[in-house]
A and B are shown apart, each in its own frame.
Chain A
Amino acid sequence: MGEFMSGPMALLAEHFLSTLRDLSLIVIILFGFQYLVIRRPLARLKRVLTGFLLALTGLTLFIVGLELALFPLGSLMAEQLVSPDFLPTLAEGAERHWRDYYWIYLFAFMIGASTTIAEPALIAVSERAHQASNGTLNPLVLRAVVAIGMATGITLGVWRIVMGWPLTWFIGSAYLVVIALTLRCPKHMIPLAYDSGGVTTSTITVPIITALGLGLATQIPERSPVLDGFGMIALACLFPIISVMGYAIAVHPKTR
């Protein structure tokens, strides 16, 4: 029990000061501008300070939880799903085929799709899109479209780590598709499409996905954590843009 408590407690103490430093900066900025440039006292000072204390406690707890749960879960799944004990047995001297890793693709797809469908920020964006399109876009369908885009992005990211291909190929071709679609997409949908790329990566999913990528790159032979482990977040942000613009073009063809 003593050891169990000393880990989390030590983490709490360790992260409290750095969190205080990080949050103080934004408080100094706000107060500085308020009192030195605008020169008007801050409304409801007590409330602002209470909010600051809550935010400080919350961020410290979150970072501790990151180290205790989210990072270990991400790398644990990567470790278990690609471990040689779990994968089909290899014939003598044979190379591992990328298809052998199908469970990790399924895992990535399910994590991507389920977290996106439930994402609170996406619900807000899809309501806005419903209004911006004068009711022609169904918010529920839009959420599904974003979720499929995000899940596809993550799954491709995992596949890229397995293959060891450069991220640039994937990003470069995705950008080309985004540019081509932007030129054809109904104008009022463009900002919303770009936004839906940003909202899919929430504060809870980012640590899991990063740890998953790093874990995979560490476990799969001949992959380097730095060269291959990153890039899934980037793909997870790009593919919803593609799927939303594709959907907008399909529903709402540009009138010439």
Chain B
Amino acid sequence: MPFVVSFGRQLLDSAKDLMPVILVVLFFQVLVLRQPLPETVAAGQVLLGLLCVVIGLALFVRGLELGLFPAGEGLANAFVRKGSAFWLLLFAFALGFGTTIAEPALMAVAAQAERAFIEEGLIREHQLASGQVALALRAIVALSVGSAIVLGVLRILKGWPLHWLIIGGYLIALALTAVAPAPLIGIAYDSGGVTTSTITVPLVTALGVGLATSIKGRNPITDGFGLIAFASVMPIIFVLALGSLGFWWLNG
């Protein structure tokens, strides 16, 4: 029974997220555009798709809450208690990498990025199998989030101030922007924004708060939540740097 209740609440949350989108689109379709839908968009398919989105997202989050979140939180606490910095950092990296690979918002951006690359002829279709560019982009972002969590854990252990590291990260990102190929820039900055949604935030915050609570003199609020901030700057740096290498490798 508790499952049904919490699934219902999750369903409501997803629907709440989607409702404004539907209302705004309807407002424009009915009052502003006043045109029939073009033939390429079947209303039935869109409705079915919206249903899939709401139910799918609710099931996904509910499934994570049921199994993976408690397991991940238990592990995070176990590693904090274990007291070995090496294993803690390795676990932090794996956690950041694994959660980012499964992040649905990143999948969306990566799919659109691949589409744009092929449309522009930046990557010829025969060079790589379909889906490989998107997967490579997601792997780079996952690598960057893993490193960001490691850096964030190190920061909590050492007590470095958060905002100087963030500002330093921004400056590195801007410097790389000046030298990276232009097509990478928008995608790099966008991937910084999508890494922090459904799945990464709860697990990573659990690690940060657990760590900050167990170390004397650390504040769970300021120290715990800083991990997420790193996870949104690091992807920009990694996508610009590794993406440039990828471009150079593909195009000579």
Contact = CB atoms under 8 A, between A and B. Distances in A.
Interface string B5-23: 0000000011011111101
B85 interface: no
A132 B222 CA distance: 10
B198 interface: yes
Interface residues of A, number: 109
B187 to A, nearest CB: 5
B63 A58 contact: yes
Given A50-B66, A60-B56, A68-B52, A191 B102 contact: no
Nearest to B32: A103
Main secondary structure of the interface of A (DSSP, over half): helix
Given A58-B60, A214-B112, A201 B119 contact: no
A54 B59 contact: yes
Interface string A130-172: 0010000000000000000000000000000000001110011
Contacts of B116: 214, 225-226, 229-230
A23 B199 CA distance: 11
Contacts of B193: 197-198, 201, 206, 233-234, 236-237
B74 interface: yes
A81 B29 CA distance: 10
A67 B25 contact: no
Residue of B24, B117, B167, B186 contacting most chain A CB atoms (<10 Å)? B186
B33 A65 contact: no
Contacts of B136: none
A70 B198 CA distance: 17
30 contacts: A8-B45, A8-B52, A29-B95, A47-B67, A52-B67, A54-B63, A57-B59, A59-B60, A65-B53, A69-B49, A72-B45, A76-B37, A80-B35, A80-B38, A110-B27, A111-B20, A114-B23, A117-B20, A167-B189, A188-B221, A190-B162, A198-B193, A201-B197, A202-B197, A227-B182, A230-B113, A230-B186, A230-B187, A231-B189, A237-B232
Given A76-B41, A231-B186, 17 more contacts: A23-B102, A25-B102, A34-B75, A53-B63, A63-B107, A65-B51, A66-B107, A69-B52, A80-B33, A110-B24, A114-B20, A179-B170, A191-B162, A191-B225, A206-B105, A226-B117, A227-B182
Interface of B: 13-14, 16-21, 23-25, 27-28, 32-33, 35, 37-38, 40-42, 44-68, 70-72, 74-75, 78-79, 82, 87, 91, 94-95, 97-99, 101-102, 104-105, 107-109, 111-113, 115-117, 119-120, 122, 131, 162-163, 166-167, 170, 174, 177-178, 182-183, 185-187, 189-190, 192-194, 196-198, 201, 221-222, 225-226, 228-229, 232
